[in-house]
């Protein structure tokens, strides 16, 4: 199952959407790792990938975390703490609440890395030009968000794992709020029906045919 990171080329600087797994994920998540069987090949971490593309991690304009699960924020600590992190306020609050951490299987080592954090609420145009718009899609976690690029492509993240789940209304066996998760899934489906291109983060069938450069 793919665990993607997205590098978005913006006029104000490169933006990273999620940071993927940390090289020490298995040690961090303990017994959960035995079930998830997370494997990050050598050189496949976000910092190495950026360097291979000729992008210095310190040159990033910001990191946008769709949410702070270990497979989406695990690499935050590999990015210099001079780079700002942007996250929904509800997500950040849950990630710093003892019950929220337990209930949502958060691992603070993934995201408490010393970065300045910009907490946003609701739909948010990152640069005010419509190019990168943060769209709340809560349910999977309290402050999950999907990312709308150039008004025509939606990085769905975990609002819907697989393309066919949009129509079967299937959700992962775990999630913060199942009713809210379903409402977000239906929001994403309506966006698809309106003609938006959707990029599903964990669908191996989708990724097998996705070009390296989306746009």
Q: Which residues of the chain register pLDDT less than 70?
A: 26-38, 41, 208-215
Helix (H) or strand (E) segment spanning residue 48: helix 46-52
Contact by Cβ (8 Å): 60, 84: no
pTM, two decimal places: 0.93
- Asked if residues 185 and 140 have their Cβ atoms less than 8 Å apart, the reply is no
> Do residues 65 and 86 touch, judged by C-beta distance below 8 A?
yes
Q: What is the pLDDT of residue 23?
A: 85
d(CA 157, CA 212): 17
Picking from 162, 189, 210, 202, the residue whose alpha carbon sits closest to that of residue 67 is: 202
Looking at the domain 6-209, which fold is it?
Metallo-beta-lactamase; Chain A (3.60.15)
- How far apart are alpha carbons 130 and 56 in whole angstroms? 25
pLDDT at 210: 61
pLDDT of residue 209: 63
How far is it, in rounded angstroms, from Cα 141 to Cα 95? 10
Give the whole-angstrom CA distance, residue 149 versus residue 192: 14
Q: In this predicted structure, what is the pLDDT of residue 91?
A: 98
**How crowded is residue 173: how many other Cβ atoms within 10 Å of its Cβ?**
5
């Amino acid at each position: 199952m793919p665990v993607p990171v997205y590098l978005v080329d913006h006029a104000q600087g490169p933006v990273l959407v999620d940071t993927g797994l940390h090289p020490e994920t298995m040690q961090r998540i303990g017994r959960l790792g035995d079930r998830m069987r997370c494997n990050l090949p050598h050189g496949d971490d976000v910092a190495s990938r950026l360097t291979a593309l000729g992008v210095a991690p310190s040159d990033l304009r910001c990191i946008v975390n769709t949410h702070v699960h270990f497979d989406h924020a695990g690499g935050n600590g590999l990015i210099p703490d001079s780079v700002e992190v942007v996250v929904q306020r509800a997500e950040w609050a849950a990630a710093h609440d003892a019950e929220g951490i337990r209930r949502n299987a958060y691992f603070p080592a993934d995201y408490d890395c010393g970065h300045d954090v910009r907490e946003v609420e609701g739909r948010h145009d990152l640069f005010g030009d419509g190019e990168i718009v943060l769209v709340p899609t809560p349910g999977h976690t309290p402050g999950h968000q999907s990312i709308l690029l150039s008004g025509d492509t939606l990085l769905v993240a975990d609002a819907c794992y697989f393309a066919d789940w949009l129509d079967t209304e299937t959700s992962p066996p775990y999630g913060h709020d199942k009713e809210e998760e379903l409402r977000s899934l239906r929001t994403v489906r309506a966006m698809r029906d309106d003609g938006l291109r959707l990029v599903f983060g964990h669908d191996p069938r989708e990724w097998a045919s996705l070009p390296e450069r989306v746009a």
